[in-house]
Amino acid sequence: MMTRDLLALGPMLITAGGAVVLLLALAVCRSHAFASAWSVLVLAAALAAIPMTWPGAPASGDLLNLLAIDSWALAFWGIIFGSALVVCLLGFEYFRPLAVQAEEFYVLVLLSATGAAVLAAADHFATVFLGLELLSVSLFALAAYRRDQAISIEAGIKYLVLAGTSSALLLFGLALLYFHTASLRLSGLAGPLLAGHPDTIALYAGIALVLVAMGFKLGLAPMHVWTPDVYQGSPAPVSALVGSVSKAGAMAFMVRLAGVTLTGTPGVRNGVFYGLLVLAIASMFTGNLLALRQPNIKRLLAYSSIAHMGYCLLAVLPMAAGAALDRQAVFYYMLAHAVSILGAFGCVCAASENGREAQHVEDYRGLAWRRPVLAGVFSLMLLSLAGIPLTAGFLGKFYVLASGVRNALWLPAVCLVINSGIGLFYYLRVLGTLYQREEAESPDQFATSTAPSALLQPSPQLLLTHLTLAALVVLLIYFGLMPALASLPM
Amino acid sequence: MNIPAGHVMIVAAVLLATGLFGVIVRRNIVLVLMSLEIMLNAAALAFVAGGSARGADGQVMFLLILTLAAAEVSVGLALVLQLYRRFKTLDVSAAASMKG
């Protein structure tokens, strides 16, 4: 271990160390404000350490065997730590009025961000497994964090059983690959696949199991069934975390995997290519069609994120070694998706009162007349998810589509265009609800405290949430107008 | 007597299928967690088989899997406790309210 190794690992060491220090500090004194301030500080320090590591400081052999800390990994660490920072900010005012002890939430967020960061840089089967498990185990606990609610426990159990199954399948796949290639390195896969290994079927079976596990983490159809339940049952900041941090880490690894398993020659396609193609098209259609008539806003966002991961796979398909433009497209898409989904769940947090989440689309009817600014922010996030120009979502979709067209992937490109049309329908449906005037309510409806009008009164206690949303709007417009980050060398 | 590594892989595959079957058909959450353990151990066995043929790396992976499976199951058991407190049953189908 040398100094430059420590420097290269810097951001990850900061979050891992920050989580341990926080856990020890909580044993001495429990304070919600301290826990959230500390985790925000730790994540900000990790973000600040990324540019210092940036040139991709060539690490020594020990580190290179396990992790590839290149510009690709560092760019995704930016998304991961930034999203975790936003989740901590949203979590503070979400958990403050609740009766649950909120301090461990921040420890788990730091740990899951560390896990996603390990996964994004993983180049060895051991780190793939460690990163994925660190992420998953933190997410079980986070999904079930609101013990006062039955659906939160249900979400935790569903995620536990399905994520446990998928990580067992991943491990068996890795074991098959190890058995047949005698290498635990991810990059050790490329040679045997190209050279026509005698046990090609076993190799493909191993890769298929790994793809199933990563497809599960990304929520790709047909491994998507957990997504809506976990998004709905988890506390809103945790749903935001699942949608941004966990997806960014898994997508970064998916691109590395595709880079070594797809063939580099244009026009030559192997089984992995067709597998990814089927996953992409199935996810686009499944996500969008199931979202069409969905009355629950959190489930709707879950289905929309299934479709979004399908779109993003379009830029993963041509991912042979050295395709820098396609890598930039994937990175920009994940960045735009993280900003939009964090913003959308941030609006759900802001619209929730006294521990009851505003989950139903009907809860948002006429929001624009009661809280015009929040409704404006929510509309902007939905427009970005739909891919309307001037938002980051549009540029992300544009780059992905450009990548598909450049590589002559006509079938998935056409599917993306069709699905963008279908997607527009349900985003506009929610958008329309926001701006509808409330009909005159019957008196008995007025009396109940759970009536939407009582639920969505502006509240002075949500200052931090509103500031976070304002920052996300600035980022959304900035990335939508100036795609400077898309030209990072990758 | 020497057992070929390939035979061990077959046993591991059978174990994995057994565990997967258990996860799918069992309704009791404790038995589901046990089936998950069987699946993880099947993968661990496959790594040991690989390690016996290809060098010590597989055994190291086995140790990692052992540790992480314990972590996963401890969080799982905490959730089992929550399930029992809330629903007074260990039947997972009690916690199936979300649909759509």
Averaged confidence pLDDT in chain A: 86
| Min Cα–Cα distance to chain A from B42, Å | 7
Query: How far is Cα B87 from Cα B66, in angstroms, rounded to an integer?
Result: 31
Record: contact B97-A232, CB cut-off 8 A: no
Q: Per-residue pLDDT tens for A407-421?
A: 888 899 999 999 999
> Quick count: other Cβ atoms within 10 Å of Cβ A453?
14
Report yes or no: A375 and A343 within 8 Å, Cβ to Cβ: no
Percentage of residues in chain A having pLDDT higher than 70: 89
- Mean pLDDT to the nearest integer, A12-29: 93
Task: Report the residue of B18, B31, B38, B57 to disrupt the A interface, i.e. the one with the largest count of A CBs within 10 Å.
Answer: B57
Contact residues, chain A, for B68 at CB < 8 Å? 129-130, 133, 137
Query: How far is Cα B90 from Cα B86, in angstroms, rounded to an integer?
Result: 10
Query: How far is Cα A240 from Cα A231, in angstroms, rounded to an integer?
Result: 8
Q: Is A122 helix (H, G, I), strand (E, B) or coil?
A: strand
Q: Which of B5, B42, B58 has the CB atom closest to A172's CB atom?
A: B42
For residue A57, what pLDDT band results from cuts at 50, 70 and 90? low
Record: contact B50-A175, CB cut-off 8 A: yes
A356 pLDDT higher than 90? no
Question: Residue holding tokens 């420097």?
Answer: A7
Record: contact B97-A172, CB cut-off 8 A: no
Q: Per-residue pLDDT tens for A285-301?
A: 999 999 988 889 999 99
Q: By residue range, what is the domain housing residue A300?
A: 3-486
Q: Per-residue pLDDT tens for A316-326?
A: 888 765 678 88
Percentage of residues in chain A having pLDDT higher than 90: 50
Record: contact A130-B54, CB cut-off 8 A: no
Task: Report the residue of B24, B72, B80 to disrupt the A interface, i.e. the one with the largest count of A CBs within 10 Å.
Answer: B72
Contact residues, chain A, for B29 at CB < 8 Å? 157
State phi, psi for A360 to the nearest 5 degrees: -85, 145
DSSP H helices in A292-323: 297-316
Contact residues, chain B, for A150 at CB < 8 Å? 86-87, 95, 97
Record: contact B43-A160, CB cut-off 8 A: no
| Long-range contact set of residues B32-36: C-beta below 8 Å, sequence gap at least 24 | B32/A161, B32/B92, B33/A164, B33/B73, B33/B76, B33/B77, B33/B80, B36/A161, B36/A164, B36/A165, B36/A168, B36/B72, B36/B73, B36/B76
| Min Cα–Cα distance to chain B from A179, Å | 5
Per-residue tokens: A480: 């939508």
Beta bridge partners of A122: A67
* CA distances for A20 relative to A10, A25, A32, A77, A111, angstroms: 15, 9, 16, 19, 9
- Mean pLDDT to the nearest integer, A89-116: 91
Record: contact A167-B40, CB cut-off 8 A: yes
Q: Which residues of A touch B (CB under 8 A)?
A: 125-126, 129-130, 133, 136-137, 140-141, 144, 147, 150-151, 153-158, 160-161, 164-165, 167-169, 171-172, 174-176, 178-179, 182, 184, 228-229, 232-233, 294-296, 299
For residue A241, what pLDDT band results from cuts at 50, 70 and 90? very high
- ipTM summary value: 0.95
- What confidence score (pLDDT) does residue A170 get? 94
Q: Is A395 helix (H, G, I), strand (E, B) or coil?
A: helix
Contact residues, chain B, for A153 at CB < 8 Å? 79, 82-83, 86, 95
Query: Out of A140-149, A266-275, B9-18, B82-91, which region has the weakest mean confidence (pLDDT)?
Result: A266-275
- What confidence score (pLDDT) does residue A442 get? 45
Record: contact A172-B12, CB cut-off 8 A: yes
B100, closest residue in chain A (CA to CA): A294
Record: contact B54-A179, CB cut-off 8 A: yes
Contact residues, chain A, for B92 at CB < 8 Å? 157, 161
Beta-carbon pairs below 8 A across chains A and B: 134
Record: contact A182-B82, CB cut-off 8 A: no
Tally of helices (H runs) and strands (E runs) in chain A: 22, 0
Record: contact B53-A179, CB cut-off 8 A: yes
> Quick count: other Cβ atoms within 10 Å of Cβ A485?
15
What's the DSSP call for residue A486?
G
The pTM for the full model equals 0.92
| Min Cα–Cα distance to chain A from B16, Å | 8
For residue A390, what pLDDT band results from cuts at 50, 70 and 90? confident
Query: Out of A50-54, A424-428, A453-457, which region has the weakest mean confidence (pLDDT)?
Result: A453-457
Q: Which of A140, A147, A294 has the CB atom closest to B100's CB atom?
A: A294
Burial class (CB in 10 A: 0-12, 13-18, 19+), B31: middle
CA angle, A413 then A415 then A419, to 5°: 120
Contact residues, chain B, for A229 at CB < 8 Å? 98
Q: What total of structural domains would you count in chain A? A: 1
- What confidence score (pLDDT) does residue A61 get? 58
Query: How far is Cα A292 from Cα A272, in angstroms, rounded to an integer?
Result: 31
**CA distance from start to end of chain B:** 56
Record: contact A133-B72, CB cut-off 8 A: yes
Longest CA span, chain A = 76
Residues in chain B, pLDDT under 50: none
Query: How far is Cα B90 from Cα A58, in angstroms, rounded to an integer?
Result: 52
Closest CA to A400 of A391, A387, A390: A387
Query: How far is Cα A165 from Cα A170, in angstroms, rounded to an integer?
Result: 9
- What confidence score (pLDDT) does residue A270 get? 78
